[in-house]
Amino acid sequence: MDFIIVTGLSGAGKSGVINTLEDIGFFCVDNMPPTLIPAFMSLVLSAGEADTDAENPAVGHDRIAVVTDTRAGTSFGTLFQSLRELKEMGVRYKILFITADDDVLVNRYKLTRRKHPLSGRHSGLIYEAIAEEREILSHARESADYVIDTSLLSNAECREKVLSLFLHNPSGKISVFCMSFGFKFGMPSDADLVFDVRCLPNPFYIPKLKKRTGLEAPVRDYVMQWDDAQKFADKLYDMIDFLLPLYEKEGKSQLVIAIGCTGGKHRSVVFAELLKKHLSARGRVPGVNHRDMLRN
């Protein structure tokens, strides 16, 4: 059974994630208090052994996801006790954590005019509510098997990332994402490995290439014409090929490999695409996201 526990910051996009999981066959339950998760799974398992689904609609599903977060109030503090109970029951689970930057969350609340679940404690001050929620969720964030930062993702891009994690990826293999980004726009918070290609010649200073992107052949050819770029690529491939089996042996479920240049439009895009191609040729199914490629 695939059992996913979805948690994360309010306003980060958990509802959209659950909708996508439902679309690919997960039985989903939203806003479940942590204290009820072991009892829920006990019912699923016992009813499944009895081969009846009369009392529990989750029976018959081998893919289940539940959402639990700070809407549960003080009972959210029992999450890790509940997780220990799941382990004692022999239930294997994965934690999917959804996050976003503070400013993004504030803007989303302004647009939707919805109330943050912790805003009552802070006289309606949203930044203070978000700060407290981050503190409450910090242990869950550290323990997560998968992390999705939706700050700069469209709904379609977020959906594609969920699909890459739970639909496209072969069973038992680590999920790999290749990300390009621009250092001028900040480091990606969900990156596991970061490589800096600002040491290579920049197409930005070539007038005919300035407004193109690393997805286009002229930019790719310019970046890769240099011996240093070829050597960088070879060493990058060797490093990733060496690390991936080690991460899989450790039990890591997700690896985000971020490659950065100054603006995230040229060099980093080229190398993210090359790494994706390299991994695909070795039987992996990597996702790719060019975070800052379309920024001015």
Question: What is the rounded distance in angstroms from the CA atom of residue 127 to the CA atom of residue 130?
Answer: 5
Question: In one letter, which amino acid is 152?
Answer: L
Question: What is the rounded distance in angstroms from the CA atom of residue 102 to the CA atom of residue 114?
Answer: 16
The DSSP secondary structure of 31-93, one letter per residue, reads: S--GGGHHHHHHHHHHHHHTT--SS-TTTT-SEEEEE--GGGGGGGGGHHHHHHHHHHTT---
Per-residue pLDDT tens listing for the chain (296 residues): 889 999 999 999 999 999 999 999 999 999 999 999 999 999 888 876 655 555 555 556 789 999 999 999 989 999 999 999 999 999 999 999 999 999 999 999 988 878 899 988 888 789 999 999 999 999 999 999 999 999 988 898 899 889 888 886 655 578 899 999 999 999 998 899 999 999 999 999 999 999 999 999 999 999 999 999 999 999 999 999 999 999 988 888 889 999 999 999 999 999 999 999 999 999 888 989 999 999 87
Question: What is the rounded distance in angstroms from the CA atom of residue 79 to the CA atom of residue 81?
Answer: 6
The token pair that represents 111 in the structure block = 């647009």
Question: What is the rounded distance in angstroms from the CA atom of residue 225 to the CA atom of residue 184?
Answer: 25
Per-residue confidence (pLDDT) for residue 296, from 0 to 100: 76
Question: What is the rounded distance in angstroms from the CA atom of residue 215 to the CA atom of residue 223?
Answer: 11
Say how many residues make up the chain: 296
The DSSP secondary structure of the chain, one letter per residue, reads: -EEEEEEE-TTSSHHHHHHHHHHTT-EEE-S--GGGHHHHHHHHHHHHHTT--SS-TTTT-SEEEEE--GGGGGGGGGHHHHHHHHHHTT---EEEEEE--HHHHHHHHHHH-PPPTTGGGGTT-HHHHHHHHHHHHHHHHHH-SEEEE-TT--HHHHHHHHHIIIIISPTTSPEEEEEEEEGGG---TT-SEEEE-TTSPPGGGSTTTTTS-TTSHHHHHHHHTSHHHHHHHHHHHHHHHHHHHHHHHHT--EEEEEEEESSSSSHHHHHHHHHHHHHHHTT---EEEETTTT--
Question: In one letter, which amino acid is 7?
Answer: T
Question: What is the rounded distance in angstroms from the CA atom of residue 5 to the CA atom of residue 64?
Answer: 9
Per-residue confidence (pLDDT) for residue 169, from 0 to 100: 60
For residues 177 and 287, the answer to whether their CB atoms sit within 8 Å is yes
For residues 76 and 140, the answer to whether their CB atoms sit within 8 Å is no
pTM: 0.77
Question: What is the rounded distance in angstroms from the CA atom of residue 239 to the CA atom of residue 175?
Answer: 17
Question: What is the rounded distance in angstroms from the CA atom of residue 58 to the CA atom of residue 56?
Answer: 5
